[in-house]
A and B are shown apart, each in its own frame.
Chain A
Amino acid sequence: MDQPMSAVVICKDLRKRYDSKKKGVDALNGLNLEIREGECFGLLGPNGAGKTTTVEILEGLIRPTSGHVEVLSRQWNGRDDTAIRQRIGISLQETRLKDKLTVFETLVLFRSFYDVGRDPEVVLEMVQLQEKRNSWVVKLSGGQRQRLAVACALVGDPELLFLDEPTTGLDPQSRRDLWEIIRDQQTRSRTTVLTTHYMDEAERLCDRVAVVDHGKVIALGTPSELIAKLGGDHIIEFDLAAGEGAAPDIESLSGLPEVSTARVGSDGYLLTVTKPHIALPALIAQLESQNHELARLSTRHVSLEDVFVTLTGRHLDDDEVSPA
């Protein structure tokens, strides 16, 4: 935060309460964020964590119950709204466009709202929809519609681009095409705010990520910083064959050389280790001495998913359980 980089988005103590008849739901509980110019910033979290609420407050579509929001050094106050909207591009989680306009007509319509922007033909090429140029929106597949929604966000050549779950439902090739678009934003020092379920996507694209849970940021940093916090680069996953003998206790496992943490997962044991070539023989020796038979064992690199599970005890794609 002490870096001299200018912040394009600042949120301080953001709160949002949805009131229903019986009880209110706190979607945001004092969320703080600072997004810097030119970075790709990822918001990660399970469904209901408050990602979309945060993004829609930043986009000026909903008002926070309390808290301070600054976007491109301006605030959503009615006076500056149009000035902010001229400079941001938005792809909503679910975008319905006019069914019976063609892809190109839709892009020209959105282009017409911006004082400056990109040529719709160029944007069409960026999202690989040239072949569908004259098709009605209603005739497009889900993935093509998603790409058109992103194209509508790009056509104003935004300084700040918001993409809410942009790759959900896309085929692998379309996902990679979209990654190229985000990288292009980065090379032009334009800022992207991305929410996603896909950890590989966040790890590849995001300069920094914020893990959001129960309406708060619970971890913030570059993907490698967050992974380093787990105290190891590798995960050993294993499970035991059903058999005689007491289950190995977690404490003895975490006491093995080069093992920083040990936990029981949904289908076996997970050890976070710094040097697998030392930890592995020690683990196997210990299991043998206790007469345990291995059913399965694998090693992999630590991912953001592991960071999230360690922080919250839940998986990213788990549905939200009622807030504790």
Chain B
Amino acid sequence: MTKYHPLRQLFLARLRTFYREPDAMFWTYGFPLILTVGLGIAFRNRPPEKIVIDIADSPRAVEVKTALDADERFKVNICGTDECADRLRLGKTTIIVELGEEYAYRYDPTRPESHLAHISLDDALQKLAGRADAIDTKNVEITEPGARYIDFLVPGLLGMNLLGGGLWGVGFVITDMRVKKLLRRLLATPMSKSHFLLSLVGGRLVFMIPEILVLLGAGWLIFDMPIRGSVFAIVVLCLIGAISFAGIGLLVASRADKIETIAGLTNLVMLPMWLFSGIFFSHDRFPEAFQPFILALPLTQLNDALRAVILEGQSLFEQGVPILVISTWGAVAFALSLKWFRWT
């Protein structure tokens, strides 16, 4: 009777109900992709903005403007004294220079961009007047892939997606089936309960593969993100994360008998991790006193481990602590759900 093997049929049913649900497909694959591309473009590394400088109209204004225009750091305007003052007040320019016997700079030193403009403009005008550099310098510019925001972001989004997948793909699905009394109908058959749970976790692991491909693929193809560690190590970390988060999903769904309840519990679990676990910015920015709590969260450990492998090329063996923390969460969640789970 292999034709009707229950685990296989339950697993097929899970796959079918997933890929036939456009909403589930979008939130699992489309939304993270849009988030990656959107944030990657919004926070891409741009050349420094030009410094806007106004020269108060005077006989030498055009000559000085031509000289400054050659320097690509500056955007230079010439205007009347009153108009220049208005522009400074409205923030349209950062500094005004009046070219008299001595040069007069008008600016607000408490505005950082005006402060920068003052130093840069004075330096440029002094050089034009013939000042020589006392020592030779050279600049080494660093904008290599791997140190940009997008490189930081993609592993974090991958971790976030695995968390969401466990909570929605297991917790929400179970609660929905309980609310619609489908769980009760299945319970009325000789179906093995472990087959049922295995099919849900198995489904999560299969849906995880395109999640990894979509996110890392977008980072790699669109943003030239480096993947320095082994793909095997990344997949193993994602696997451990996905199983643990499936356990947490099962735990929050063990008693929930209303959609509102599961939605609330899911947010309760996800929000702290979205905030503290270093998805969009490093968790090091939180005060030292918070760190033990933050480091105890499974998503923090998963994100840190993914970044260490993807961006720093660390091996799986160096991720012992993260793997231990994530697995402990998973094991405790599965154990508690077996104790608390209600089918009807």
Contact = CB atoms under 8 A, between A and B. Distances in A.
B182 interface: yes
Interface string A70-100: 0000000000001001100010101111111
Given A98-B17, A105-B13, A113-B6, A85 B1 contact: no
B185 interface: yes
Contacts of B4: 108, 111-112
B175 to A, nearest CB: 14
B258 interface: no
Given A100-B20, A101-B16, A112-B4, A92 B190 contact: no
Interface in B4-27: 4-6, 8-10, 12-13, 16-17, 20-21
B9 to A, nearest CB: 4
B13 A61 contact: no
A54 to B, nearest CB: 15
Interface in A99-144: 99-101, 105, 108-115, 136
A85 B189 contact: yes
A165 interface: no
A205 to B, nearest CB: 23
Given A94-B181, A96-B180, A100-B21, A61 B8 contact: no
Contacts of B180: 96
Given A59-B188, A111-B4, A113-B189, 10 more contacts: A90-B188, A92-B184, A95-B185, A97-B185, A100-B20, A100-B21, A108-B4, A109-B12, A110-B189, A112-B5
A17 B146 CA distance: 66
B187 interface: yes
Given A94-B181, A97-B185, A115-B1, A108 B9 contact: yes
A104 to B, nearest CB: 12
A110 to B, nearest CB: 6
A116 B191 CA distance: 13
Given A100-B16, A109-B13, A114 B182 contact: no
Contacts of A92: 181, 184-185, 188
B181 A61 contact: no
Interface string A47-81: 00000000000011100000000000000000000
A15 B175 CA distance: 30
Interface of B: 1, 4-6, 8-10, 12-13, 16-17, 20-21, 180-182, 184-185, 187-192, 344
Top 4 closest pairs, chain A to chain B, by CB: A112-B9, A112-B4, A85-B190, A100-B20
A92 B187 CA distance: 12
Interface of A: 59-61, 82, 85-86, 90, 92, 94-101, 105, 108-115, 136, 152, 156
A101 B17 contact: yes
B190 A113 contact: yes
A61 B189 contact: no
A135 B300 CA distance: 45
A84 to B, nearest CB: 9
A109 B188 contact: no
18 contacts: A59-B188, A61-B184, A61-B187, A61-B344, A82-B190, A90-B188, A92-B188, A95-B185, A96-B182, A100-B16, A100-B20, A109-B9, A109-B13, A111-B4, A112-B5, A112-B9, A113-B6, A113-B189
Contact of A85 (B10, B181, B188): B188
Contact of B8 (A111, A112, A113): A112
A136 B16 CA distance: 11
B10 to A, nearest CB: 7
A85 B188 CA distance: 7
A147 B317 CA distance: 57
A112 B182 contact: no
Most chain A C-beta atoms within 10 Å of own C-beta, residue among B1, B20, B181, B189: B189
B187 A98 contact: no
A112 B1 CA distance: 8
A178 to B, nearest CB: 19
A101 B6 CA distance: 16
Nearest to B1: A115
Most chain A C-beta atoms within 10 Å of own C-beta, residue among B1, B4, B191, B344: B4
A98 B13 contact: yes
A106 B301 CA distance: 41
A114 B6 CA distance: 9
A277 B192 CA distance: 64
Contacts of A96: 180-182, 185
B14 to A, nearest CB: 10
Nearest to B343: A61
Nearest to B16: A101
Given A96-B182, A115-B1, A61 B10 contact: no
A115 B17 CA distance: 25
A55 to B, nearest CB: 11
A273 to B, nearest CB: 46
A95 B189 CA distance: 13
A82 B188 CA distance: 9
A94 B188 CA distance: 13
Most chain B C-beta atoms within 10 Å of own C-beta, residue among A100, A109, A114: A109
A181 B6 CA distance: 26
A112 B191 CA distance: 8
A176 to B, nearest CB: 26
Given A97-B182, A112-B4, A115-B1, A156 B13 contact: no
Contacts of B10: 109, 112
Most chain A C-beta atoms within 10 Å of own C-beta, residue among B13, B21, B344: B13
A91 to B, nearest CB: 10
B17 A100 contact: yes
A156 B189 contact: yes
Nearest to A95: B185
Contact of B190 (A61, A86, A97): A86
